[in-house]
Structure 1
C-alpha cells in the first residue's frame, strides 16, 4: 500500500505542470527542414495526440484551433544524444570508481531521474543510454518508470550491463580476496551466447560490448575480443532484433567490430583513414564523443589556451579528420554523465570545431540519431506522420549550433513540458 501511495505521489509531482496531449497548432517564425538544410517560413504545425498530423499555411489555421504562437522562435526537431549515461554524474564531483563502489543503486536511480528532467528541459527528447556502469539493470527501471509516467525525461533505449572481456574492466587495484562490483559484465567465448541472451531477457534494448580496453602491459588500450567473439554477440543480438554497439578506441578494435557487423563505433580515438573507409563501406555509424575527452582533460587541469594540449585531444582531432575524409556517417553522442546532464549541446559545438558544418551537426543530432534509436521513419524530422518531438530556439541552428543552448519550448510526444501552455 505504501509503495502504491509513493508511486501515486511521484506521478502527481512529476506531471502536475505538464499539459496533456491534445490537438495543438504551433505557429513559429520558421521551422527547420533538417534533411534539406533549410528554414521553412509561413507554416503552422498541427499536432494531434503524439504526432504531427499536418503542416499547413499559417493563414489557413482555423480560428477554432488551440494555437500556440511561438513568435520570434525557430522550431527544431527534438534533439537526440546517442551516447549517454544517465546513471553517472561528472567525475570532478566524485570519481567513477567511487560512483560504482560507494553510491547505492537507489541513489543512482534517484539521481538519474533528475538527470532525465535536466536533459529534457535542455531540448534533448531522445537518448541511447549505453551502460549502467555497475548499477545492474537500474537503467531498465528508469526507462520503465518513464513509460509509466512516474518520471519525466527523454525517450530512452538502454543497454543494461555492457559486456567486457574477463579481467579487462574495473574498478581495479584491490586485493584478490575482495569481491568488487564491476562496472560491466565479463564474458568470453561460448559464454557470450548465454550473457547476451540473459541481458536481453532482463530488458536491454541494445547490446554494448567493449571491443577494447586499457589492459595492455602498460595500461594502454588493446583489443579485448576476437572477430569471431564479436560476431557471436552480433548474431545472437540480431536474432532478437537488437543491434550491437561497440566501445572501441583503437584502430584494430574498430576494424574487428566493423567486420563483426556492429551498428556503431563509440569513441574511435585511434581510427585510421582505412578503418573509417571500411566503416563507411559496412554502413557503421561513428559516435565520436568529443565532449567526454574534452571534459576529462579539463578536469585533469588542462585549460584551453594554456599549456600543452593533451595527446588525447590531438588524437581525437586526427581521428575526426580521418572520419570526415572517409565520409563515414557521424552521429551526435556526447558521453554525457562524464560532464553535467543538460549540457549536451557541448558535443554539437565541439563537432563544429572539429570540422563538421552546423547543418551536418544538426542532422547528426536528429536524423542519424533517429536511425540509431530504430525510429528513422517517425523521429528526427518535422514531417507529417512523425512524432511531435519539437523544441524552439532563437536564431538559425543551421548557421550556429550554439543557439541550441537556449531552448524556450519543449514538446515530447505531443505534450508540452516547457514554454507556452
Structure 2
C-alpha cells in the first residue's frame, strides 16, 4: 500500500499504490489541518508581536553596498516594516515601542534557506530559531504547501516567509512527486495550477526530457515564472543553461560537465562559465548535503563552488534539510569566499533571484523588518552566526 525510502541522492521518497491514491489524498488533507493547527498553537509562544520596535546602538552590516559598517545606528520598525535607519534620535520613537539596546552588537538581514522541503510545519520553527527568516520550498505536496503558505502569509504567528517552487517530473523508476510533465496537456495544466496557487518558480526534476523541458519553460514564461532545479538524467548542462534553467540545484551535477585541470580550472571551463554569466544562471550548491553525509568528493565540490563564485556566478545558500544555513555559509568561507560574500549568498543574492530585493534582503528603509542581532562581527568571525541572541521577524521579536 505504502512505502518510504531514500533514493540514491538521499532524498526521501514515498510510494503509494495507484489504487490507494484517493485515500492518500484524503489522509493528506486531514493530516495537514491537524499539523497546521498544532503548529499555530505551539508557535504563539516563540516570540511576541509589537506594533513598534526601536533598535538602538547597533552596527549595521550593509550587504547591499559592499559590507559598509554603519555604526551606532537606530532602526525603527513600524507594523513589521523598517520606517527609519540612521542616527539615534529618541524623539522619533513612538510611545509604547519595544526598545532593544543593541550597543556594540552587529546587525545583518535575516537569512534565507534557498533549498528546503518543509515536510512538517515544525521545520519552519527550527529554521527561524537558527536565524532563517525566509525559506524556499523546493518540492512538496501541493495541497499541504498551499495551506501552509496561506497560514504563513497571514503573519499572525512568528514563522519565516515561504516561497515555493512547484515540482514537475517525467515518468521513470526515479519519478518524484504527483505532478507529472510527460505531455503538453499535463505540462500546461500543472504549470497553470502552480501559478494559480501562488508559486513563483517551477522545479524540474531528474526524469524530465529535453522536449518537455522546453514546453515547461515556454509555459512558465507565460506566467512570468522561473524554471529551476536538477539536471535531468542522461543530459549535459549546456542545453538547459542555454534554454531557460534559471538556477541549478546541487553542485554535483557539474561533475560530468567539467573539464578537469590541475591548473586554471576556470580557463579550462570558460565556455560553460561564460554561458552561465550570459544567462544569469544561479547556483544552489547544497554543500551541507555532501559534507554532513561524508561524500568523498566534497573537496572537489568545494573547488567548483569557489571557481563559480570567483567567475561571478551568483551563489545562493540552501540546506536541503541538512544542517543549518549558518553551517552552509561557513563552508563557503572555508572554501575561500569572504565572509561578506558568504552572508550575501543568504541575504541579498537570494532576494534578487526571487524578485524580492525591493522588499527584503538588506536592512533599508521601506523593507521588511527582518534582521539578526549578533554579539560579534561576522565579517571578522563567521562563527558569530552560530550564536544569535535576538531575531526580529517583522513585528515579532524572538529572544533565545
Q: Retained in 2: the 8 A contact 1:248–1:254?
A: yes
Instruction: Give yes or no for contact 1:82–1:331 (8 Å, CA) kept in 2.
Output: yes
Matches within 5 A, 1:213-292: 224-226=208-210, 228-248=211-231, 252-269=235-252, 270=254, 272=258, 273=269, 274-292=271-289
> Hey, what's the Cα distance between the residues in 2 that align with 1:199 and 1:63?
43
Which SS does the other structure have where 1:116 is aligned?
A: helix
- Checking the alignment, whether the CA contact within 8 Å between 2:67 and 2:340 is kept in structure 1 is yes
* Partner in structure 2 of residue 199 of structure 1: 194
> Partners in 2 of 1:246 and 1:18 — Cα distance?
34
Alignment correspondent of 1:125: 133
Question: How many Å apart are 1:390 and its aligned residue?
Answer: 1.1
1:185 pairs, out of 169, 176, 179, with: 179
CA distance in 2 between counterparts of 1:323 and 1:242 reads: 25
Is structure 2 residue 393 aligned with structure 1 residue 412? yes
- Partner residue, 2:25: none
Root-mean-square deviation (CA), in Å?
Answer: 2.8
Verify the 8 A CA contact 1:277 1:327 in the aligned structure 2.
Answer: no
The partner residue of 2:369 within 383, 388, 395 is 388
Q: SS of the residue aligned with 2:216?
A: helix
Q: 2:61 aligns with which of 19, 32, 35?
A: 32
* 1:403 maps to 2:384: yes
Mark the runs of 5 or more structure 1 residues left unpaired by the alignment.
88-111, 171-181, 214-223, 299-309
Cα displacement (A) at 1:31 = 1.2
- 1:41 counterpart residue number: 71
Change (3 A) 1:168 1:259: farther
How does 1:134-149 map onto structure 2 within 5 Å? Answer: 135-148=141-154
SS for the counterpart of 1:156 is strand
- Contact 1:27–1:69 (CA under 8 A) maintained in structure 2: yes
Equivalent residue for 1:333?
A: 318
- Go from structure 1 to structure 2 and tell me whether the alpha carbon gap of 1:60 and 1:10 turns closer, same or farther (over 3 Å shift): closer
1:58-90 CA distances to partner (integer Å, 9 max, x unpaired)? 255557653221234211111111111121xxx
**Higher RCO by CA contacts (8 Å cutoff, separation 6 or greater):** 1
The equivalent of 1:375 in structure 2 is 356
CA contact (8 A) 1:166 1:188 kept: yes
Shift of 1:252: 4.9
Runs of 5+ consecutive residues of structure 2 not aligned to the other structure: 1-31, 259-268
- State the alpha-carbon separation in 2 of the partners of residues 86 and 296 from structure 1: 20
Q: Work out the CA distance in 2 between the residues paired with 1:261 and 1:5.
A: 39
Map of 1:155 onto structure 2:
161
TM-score (norm 1): 0.75
Q: 1:82 to 1:11 in 2, by over 3 A?
A: closer
Query: In the TM superposition, what whole-angstrom CA distance separates every residue of 1:18-77 from its partner, at most 9, and x where no partner exists?
Result: 332412211143111112212211210111112111113125555765322123421111
**Contact 1:11–1:149 under 8 Å retained in 2:** no
Structure 2 contact 374–387 (Cα < 8 Å) conserved? yes
| 2:109 and 2:363 in contact (8 A); partners too | yes
